[in-house]
Amino acid sequence: MSHLTSILANPTCVRPHQPLVICQSSLSQTCLPVLRRLIKPTKAPSHILLFCLLYPASSLIGDALVPDTSVEVFDYTERIPDYGSWVDPRQDILTAVESAPSGSLVVVIDSVDTLASDIGSDSQTFAFIRNIFRLVFSRPQPSVLVLHLLPCPLLSLLTQTSLSPTLTHIIAHPPALIEHLATAYLASAPPAGPAEKFWNVFIPISERAQESQRLVYGPDGPGTCTGYGNSAREFVIESIVRGSGAEGRKRTTERTLAGWKGDTPENLEKLESLKTLTSWKKRDEKAPDPTQNVSFNLHLTPSQERSRGQVPLPYVHEGKSTTVPSISGTIFYEPDSADDIDDDDPDEDLEI
């Protein structure tokens, strides 16, 4: 969770630098709280460009903007194809990024799948995102491109190393998914359970969106992706960080799991929606000793341990040489009454 905390505090100063950040929502869980923190981090960069195509700016940065804020908003939510006079926003976005003032820059596009739907071509949308990324990556000061999207065919293209060798991929999951894995598959999230077992179960199930949708919107689900009751605005974050390791280590990919509560990341065990799993863990830790309250004693006193160690073991060859002499083998056979053994030639009547 340290990498996630660092990028939320200051996206442009993470070491190693991550110029591409992908925030992935789904129908069962939104990632908007994380996107809001990336737009308004603890230490804001010199300039932030926010391009809204799906959600209005008020839902991402609040109802009112401070006059001297560093966030520059471009609202294209009213540009809908086949409704009025639609204008392609790609040239406006390119111009805004090219003319951005010097200094560190954060470019946020919400959302890429909406842009692809408006354009009507995934290949053209990917080519456009690649041009935007090149402009952001070529700036002298560390800059970041933040993309928000739902699962779509573009996702596999955006996560390829051909676009960016380094990447931070943030995926939002409902807490019901973690609870389901712990109860149905006995795969508890680390450190409560073994990491290898959990990821082997979690990855294929989480990639099937219908599983999470069934858990949230099914007959026994809460019916909302933003939490309910005391667990409002709680969800689980899967972070996939691809890039050079710390202290010059070779390039690796790290996958971690963390919780989100309110406006900040949190440990999984502190989420209200996963308290039942935490109570199970505590109950197992405090389980009674099965050797207690029995009618006989299963333990030995220190004197009994010493006496036991002094008992000689009944080895047959104790104190003797274990070398086996080399003797040629001989087979002795004693026939019984049922054996038909005759010294005469059994084929003498054949006149051979």
Which strand (E) or helix (H) includes residue 155? helix 154-158
List b or e across 304-340, with b for residues whose CB sees 16 or more CB atoms inside 10 angstroms.
eeeeeeeeeeeeeeeeeeeeeeeeeeeeeeeeeeeee
The phi and psi torsions of 198 (rounded to 5 degrees) equal -65, -50
* pLDDT at residue 267, rounded to an integer: 87
Mean pLDDT across 282-291: 62
Q: Is the dihedral of CA 127, 133, 135, 138 positive or negative?
A: negative
Predicted TM-score (pTM) above 0.85: no
pLDDT tens, residue by residue, 219-230: 877 776 654 444
What pLDDT score was predicted for residue 249?
Answer: 53
Quick check: 248 pLDDT over 90?
Answer: no
Tokens encoding 109? 């596009």
pLDDT in tens, 311-349: 877 665 555 555 555 666 777 777 777 766 666 666 766
- Pairwise pLDDT comparison (14 vs 119), residue with the higher score: 119
What are the sequence ranges of the domains in the chain? Answer: 1-11+19-225+234-278
Domain spanning 1-11+19-225+234-278: which CATH class is it, in words? alpha beta
What integer pLDDT is reported at residue 349 of this predicted model? 66
Report how far apart, in Å, the C-alpha atoms of 33 and of each of 106, 170, 233 are. Answer: 17, 12, 8
> Which has more confidence, 280 or 339?
339
Is pLDDT of 247 > 70? Answer: no
* Neighbouring residues of 294: CB distance < 8 A, sequence distance ≥ 6: none
**What pLDDT, in 10s, does the model give residues 95-126?**
999 999 888 899 999 989 999 999 999 999 99
Pull the structure tokens for residue 19. 């110029």
182-206 per-position pLDDT tens digit = 889 988 888 888 888 999 999 999 9
